[in-house]
Amino acid sequence: MRLNVLQEKVSIVTGGSRGIGRAVVEALARAGSHVAVVATREDGARAAAESAAGHGVKTMALAADVSDPADADRIVQTVTEELGGLDVLVNNAGITRDGLLLRMSDEDFDRVVAVNLKGTFNFLRAAARVMVKKRSGSIINVSSIVGLIGNPGQTNYAASKGGVIALTKAAAKELASRKVRVNAIAPGFINTDMTADLAEGTREAALTMIPLREFGHPDHIAEAVVFLASSRSAYITGHVLNVDGGMAM
Ligand code: NAP
């Protein structure tokens, strides 16, 4: 039904090698977009890019650390030159380093903020420089409901994801006059490597907080990304879309 809604568009997906990002790469390619996959490990990025190429689009795999602004600038420039532009950026790369506040190390706080928040800023700024010139573009930042409602043991992660939401709204207001849209998605609990190690007790406790009574699938997030990337959401900017089984309502 939504086949080809992104025909001939060019997208960058950070953290596209696994989990949610991998599902996003597949969904964008299925919708007709050329896709550049970014991850720290090139082999993972390459596997995702090769799979997405099966949908008949051009793909690229690029190794980078999103927390490094030079990497963001290099990747946006390379993709723009080699794939012929940039229409969609999905800031999805993220990490957790959980720990109770009283024992949280400076290093764990700083690294999570560097990857999740500064990494999002680095790619947002680099992509916006290209998009404002052609007066179009859609940027989707993957936050978390933890950035809205908090979570014990995740002060670093919650701060980074709350920051992503504030960053999204400020950038949306700044870029709207140039027709560049910026939105966020706030996933709840999604079955990926990130949630694979949850203790059974924690998983059960989480399920009681989810009205739909199940963890989400990466495809649930990918569907929302395709909607926000395409012209079907042309009048939506600065929005935070919860995809969480009703958890944060
Ligand atoms: P995941 O399975 O752990 O995958 C993380 C991805 O990010 C991998 O592709 C990884 O690539 C990449 N990555 C990590 N650090 C990076 C860095 N410094 N530079 C570039 N790439 C980096 O995670 P996920 O569960 O799919 O989560 C994806 C996003 O959704 C994250 O932002 C996460 O916070 C958010 N989220 C997830 C959930 C959930 O329940 N899973 C809920 C809410 C929000 P490498 O393997 O090469 O390092």
DSSP state, residue 40:
S
Which tens digits make up the pLDDT trace of 128-174?
999 999 999 999 999 999 999 999 999 999 999 999 999 999 999 99
Give the ligand 1 atom nearest the CA of 65: 19
**Which of 14-23, 115-124, 182-191, 193-202 is predicted least confidently?**
193-202
Taking each continuous run of H as one helix and of E as one strand, the counts in the chain are 10, 7
| Strand ranges for the chain from DSSP E | 10-14, 34-39, 59-63, 88-91, 137-142, 180-187, 240-243
Q: Which of 248, 8, 16, 45 is nearest to 140 (CA)?
A: 16
41 lines ligand 1 (CB under 6 A): yes
* Ligand 1 binding pocket includes 15 (Cβ within 6 Å): yes
Give tens-digit pLDDT for 183-195: 999 999 999 999 9
Is position 235 annotated as part of the catalytic site? no
Tens of pLDDT along 213-242?
999 999 999 999 999 999 999 999 999 999
Q: Looking at residue 3, what is its pLDDT? A: 64
Ligand 1 proximity of 115 Cβ (cutoff 6 Å): yes
Greatest CA separation found in the chain? 51
Q: Ligand 1, residue 145: give the atom nearest the CA.
A: 43
Task: Count CB atoms within 10 A of the CB of residue 128.
Answer: 21
